[in-house]
Structure 1
């Protein structure tokens, strides 16, 4: 039986979470380049010794932020893919996927990763594998199963999954990233519905008829 963490461990976990929360706000507000450990210290209080005991450098703190936010935000990209109607499944997947990308945290994480990927290639690879890559692999598994059972016209399920999610993102996501405009919920639903229509025309004509 696992023992409950003692008071010291709980306090350490709470302090680490406090630092991560404050640092996430600062890094997303200022960007990696302008964010600083001193700014985190001002917001959380305490001593430099305490801060550096949890995170030895700005790079390490940023890596922890990306890992933490990725786990919370990108976990939503893995909806259950039951044996339901393929149109309904793709619509659910698309709307949840785009919803995550357009959330404040999703947009901030994406902007930061694009800006910092050249300097943190290993971190960028981890982000991609645990986020977008995980989403496309999960959808590919569903398409592979449906291809075998329902005769979907798909030569490469992995590529098909990536292309579908790419259609879902489209200009809706790019316009939000660039802060050109924030799409309304109706625009999100329409973008996903259009992507599903196009995808099914090319891969599953029999499902559309049924």
Structure 2
């Protein structure tokens, strides 16, 4: 496909068409699943020709991957300069709220189910989803834990492992129950209490060791 400078009218037109295709693909894949969604369905929903669709995305596999990235990367993110400011309890609670608001989103739950259903045909999407949804969070959280350990605020000798532990605590059974349809969405109060419990447990487990009192010097 020919490329244009960002300010060229055709570049903006192509961008709008690509966005329309991704939105249509998101709606259809989440509604019908990977196997039951066709490129013809996506083209019709997006209001483009099948040739235009294939010019943007050469196959359904490529479109499916683009849809996953589109969904994972277009959710609201907190301002970076203020997100990590505050006490460890405040920062981790804030992270818990953002994290659970993302993975408890109905579209996110639907996407997870679609990915599980497509694993046999398309195993690499699971790896892609894991990277976008987990490893991209582990990296900045590990850096934050490294700072806390160096400052002596908490004892976190393995920041990456502790980051994964905290994310696993947050997810707990609250996510699996919803994904499996065991029970409806938890209330805001229940989610907040769950986050508070996770933060308290994590901070208690990583409390810095108390220094032994210095022996009185003898003259």
Q: TM-score range by the shorter chain?
A: 0.7 to 0.9
- In structure 2, how many angstroms separate the alpha carbons of the residues matched to 1:120 and 1:141? 33
What secondary structure does 1:73 align onto? Answer: coil
Distance change in 2, residues 1:169/1:77 (3 Å): farther
> Which residue does 2:193 correspond to in 1?
190
Contact kept? 1:23, 1:40, Cα under 8 Å: yes
The Cα shift of 1:92 comes to 0.5
Q: 1:81 aligns with which of 57, 80, 84?
A: 84
Structure 1 residue runs without a partner (length 5+): none
What secondary structure does 1:40 align onto? Answer: helix
Distance change in 2, residues 1:77/1:119 (3 Å): farther
- In structure 2, how many angstroms separate the alpha carbons of the residues matched to 1:186 and 1:151? 29
> What TM-score results when the alignment is normalised by the length of structure 2?
0.83
What secondary structure does 2:130 align onto? Answer: helix
The Cα shift of 1:174 comes to 1.0
The Cα shift of 1:127 comes to 2.7
Contact kept? 2:6, 2:12, Cα under 8 Å: no
* RMSD (Å) for aligned C-alpha atoms: 2.4
- In structure 1, how many angstroms separate the alpha carbons of the residues matched to 2:74 and 2:6? 24
Distance change in 2, residues 1:75/1:129 (3 Å): farther
- In structure 2, how many angstroms separate the alpha carbons of the residues matched to 1:81 and 1:13? 33
Contact kept? 1:146, 1:152, Cα under 8 Å: yes
Contact kept? 2:84, 2:91, Cα under 8 Å: yes
> Which residue does 1:163 correspond to in 2?
165
> Which residue does 1:22 correspond to in 2?
24
What secondary structure does 2:184 align onto? Answer: coil
Structure ranking higher in helix proportion:
1
What secondary structure does 1:154 align onto? Answer: coil
Greater Rg by CA: 2
> Which residue does 1:145 correspond to in 2?
147
* Count of residue pairs the alignment pairs up: 204
> Which residue does 1:44 correspond to in 2?
46
Contact kept? 1:77, 1:93, Cα under 8 Å: no
The superposition leaves residues 136-184 of structure 1 with CA deviations (integer Å, 9 ceiling, x where unpaired) of 2211211111111125232311111111111111111111212231111
What pairs up with 1:1-210 in 2 under 5 angstroms? 4-73=6-75, 75=77, 80-82=83-85, 84-179=86-181, 180-204=183-207
> What TM-score results when the alignment is normalised by the length of structure 1?
0.86
